[in-house]
Amino acid sequence: MKKVLILTVTAGNGHNACSAAMKKKLEELGGMEVKIVDLLKAYSTKLNVWVADGGYNLAVSKLPKIYDAFFNKYLNAPPKKRYSSPSQGVALSCVEGLLKEILEFQPDVIYASHFYGAMAITDLKLAYNLPFVSFSAALDYVLTPFWESGVGVDYFVIPNDDFIDYSLYKGYRREQLLPIGLPVNGRTLEVMDKAKAREILKLDKDDFTVMIMFGGGHWNGGFKIFKQTVKALDGCEAQIIMINGKNEAGFKKVAAFKPPRGIKVLNVGFTTEIPTYMSAADVILNKFGGTSVTEMINKGLPMLITEKLVAQEKYNLVYFKAKGAALSFKNGKTLKENLLKLMNRKDLREQMTKNSAPFKRDAIGEFAKIIAAQPKADYSGILSENIDFKQVKKRVECAVKAADKTEKRK
């Protein structure tokens, strides 16, 4: 039986969700034992665990300008500093525990769904001859800071051919790059007729239907946008599907809200049936994280996106606005203008769906098959080394410093 180790990091929920989806997809293929490990929770310090998730959440929700400044500074940092980036300390804190895991589990393949996993693999491979085949995958339509520090993986999954040149600039070799798309939950690729979805959800089969989804992540503007949407549609026959996710306070506010005549509201808390709700919608209002973008594209939904976004989501929006697959709004006025435009112009909705079609693909299915095709790993060589685990971190740190000097001499 082939073994696959998936390394995730809790920084929001996107990496965990994609890791879980990949585990499920691999197990469906059969003949594989798949294990998911949260890299920082398993091997690093409590402080690093908090910084990756709690610190990130605090930054994007309360300090977005500072977060954006940090993001853009390191997005534009010289790739030659890959081995001395500020994220190296976090990656190095994991190497001892990760190496123990590798030698005990003996995976044939390791997939890192976050750059910290790719970095830890890269750093370990500088010091040890490890036999597994390694993969990492970008989960946004921009190569976020520190992906340049993960160039030691065997293969890097990127959104499409548009990202090849920038990946080469970051230091990857062409033969490492797999431009197959973002490996997100494949359920949004399932075909469901709009009329059928509306029947299941007890919605009118003909009314213009808007889906609003701001319940995930760490963003509290969903109810405000819900009210702006209701105001924009006042006087129209329309339906609003409001997805609150785990935002219980938002759910209660929507439940207490009385919409004007002609507008029906379907108020939804946490659900695992997002594909069904998407199938019922004509348009979706959302944030623009990479996994959400891909799921909306897989459903062919015209996208109307808030401009209140953090750095990586802003880059995602710029990319898809340029492709003609998304519109945006910055306030209630522009929301109303663009929403009514989409409601009244079926041709525009169809064109946006057509523009997004080239980006629709079963990336997770294709990626899973690539992983499944990798050979069994032979651990006899590394196991014969009788590794002193007290010296692992020091050995890796020395290898990283040596690689840093070599890189900066180029």
* Residuewise pLDDT in 10s, the chain (410 residues): 999 999 999 987 889 999 999 999 999 999 999 999 999 999 999 999 999 988 888 888 889 999 999 999 999 899 999 999 999 999 999 999 999 999 999 999 999 999 999 999 999 999 999 999 999 999 999 999 999 999 999 999 999 999 999 999 999 999 999 999 999 988 888 889 999 999 999 999 999 999 999 755 445 578 999 999 999 999 999 999 999 988 888 899 999 999 999 999 999 998 989 999 999 999 999 989 999 999 999 999 999 999 999 999 999 999 999 999 999 999 999 999 999 999 999 999 999 999 999 999 999 999 999 999 999 999 999 998 889 999 999 999 999 999 999 998 87
Centre a 10 Å sphere on the Cβ of residue 303 and count the other Cβ atoms it contains: 24
End-to-end CA distance of the chain, in Å? Answer: 43
User: How many CA atoms lie within 13 Å of 268's alpha carbon, on the beta-carbon side?
Assistant: 22
The pLDDT, as a whole number, for residue 255 is: 95
**Widest distance between CA atoms in the chain:** 75
The pLDDT, as a whole number, for residue 217 is: 47
Dig out the tokens for 395 from the structure: 């050995």
What does the chain come to in residues?
Answer: 410
- Reported as type and span, the H/E element at residue 127 is helix 115-127
- Reported as type and span, the H/E element at residue 5 is strand 2-8
The pLDDT, as a whole number, for residue 214 is: 79
The pLDDT, as a whole number, for residue 251 is: 92
Dig out the tokens for 78 from the structure: 């010289």
Nearest residue to 297 via CA among 181, 146, 217: 181
Q: Given the structure tokens 């994609």, which residue do they identify? A: 18
Q: How many helices (H) and strands (E) does the chain have?
A: 20, 12
Task: Return d(Cα 320, Cα 58) in angstroms, integer.
Answer: 27
The pLDDT, as a whole number, for residue 205 is: 94
The pLDDT, as a whole number, for residue 166 is: 96
- Enter the DSSP assignment of 196: H
The pLDDT, as a whole number, for residue 379 is: 97
DSSP assignments along 213-256, one per residue: E--SSS---HHHHHHHHHHHHTTS-EEEEEE-TT-HHHHHHHHH
Dig out the tokens for 235 from the structure: 């006087």
Burial classification of residue 64, based on how many CB atoms lie within 10 Å of its CB (0-12 exposed, 13-18 middle, 19 or more buried)? middle
The whole model's pTM is what? Answer: 0.94
User: Is the Cα dihedral 209, 224, 263, 265 positive or negative?
Assistant: positive
